[in-house]
Amino acid sequence: MSEGENADQAQGGRAVKLHHSAQTRSMRVLWLLNELGVEFELVEHAMDGSLRSPSYLALHPAGRVPCLEVGDEVWWESGAIIELLCEHFPEGGLGRMPGQPERAEWLSWLHFSETISQHVAALTQQHVMLFDDAMRSPVVTKLEAARTGKCLDALEERLNGRDYLLDGGFSAADVAVGQAVYSAQRFHRIGERPALAAWWARIEGRPAFKAALPQPGEKLLYERDFYAPWEG
């Protein structure tokens, strides 16, 4: 039986549809679906008012991505979606189920991605979303970039002597944190963090990661590779 047929059986015949915008947290879900070999429909959204349409708000009450339709169910919040996908596709080995030895570590590192992402979100707001320089804050851009660096330091310490975040190998925690680091590098370089750099090279080499990257012609959230702290 093929991987795709396995996925169809696990889905119970339910159609899967991912609502996605490039370079956002929905990249985590897109990447994980590819890792798991799940067949799905991709619906791409620009980061504009279309996410506030009544039809989309009926799916996601905050008008954000990701949103995953699985049959008649609607899942949102990237961390919750990742947990649910790993529960529905345990044969993929990317989750750590209740009772398994690495369960607590898996959950902790999975949700550490949001610690990184909250700083990235603040920096994205300052550098990308605010259209007038008078709205931007040099203090915020420097402080949040420094906080992002502290998160990268924590990853460097964790990855020292490890190939992936868990001793048991690559997991969905690496997916969630990998997406956060992908975005964080717009504002804070990996620099002299050799363990993190080696992990990132392994992440970049994964076919499912490459498949989740923006495609040619896709509308990007970040127009630059790097945004230095704003000086005012």
How much is the pLDDT for 1? 29
**Sequence letter at residue 123:** L
207 cis-preceded (ω within 30 degrees of 0):
no
Is the pLDDT reported for residue 176 higher than 90? yes
Tokens in use for 154? Answer: 């924590």
Please tell me the distance from the alpha carbon of residue 50 to that of residue 46, in angstroms, as a whole number.
7
Q: Which two tokens stand for residue 88?
A: 């529905």
Task: Report the Cα 43 to chain-centroid distance in Å.
Answer: 17
Q: Which residue has the tokens 């040099």?
A: 138
For the segment 166-185, the average pLDDT, to the nearest whole number, is 98
C-alpha dist (Å) from residue 198 to 192, 201, 206:
11, 5, 13
Q: Is the pLDDT of residue 165 over 60?
A: yes
pLDDT, average across residues 188-193: 97
Distances (CA, A) of 7 to 1, 36, 76, 150: 10, 8, 20, 39
The model's pTM = 0.92
pLDDT tens per residue across span 114-135: 999 999 999 999 999 998 888 9
Domains annotated for the chain, with CATH where assigned, are 3-92 (3.40.30.10), 103-212 (1.20.1050.10)
Count of Cβ atoms closer than 10 Å to residue 195 Cβ: 16
Q: What share of the chain is helix, strand, coil (3-state, %, to 5)?
A: 55, 5, 40
Rounded distance between C-alpha atoms, residue 122 and residue 168, angstroms: 33
Q: 181-193 burial string, b = 16+ CB within 10 Å, else e? A: bbbbbbbbebeeb
Burial of 6 (0-12, 13-18, 19+ CB in 10 A): middle
Kindly report the average pLDDT of the chain as a whole number. Answer: 92
Query: Token pair of 121, please?
Result: 């979100």
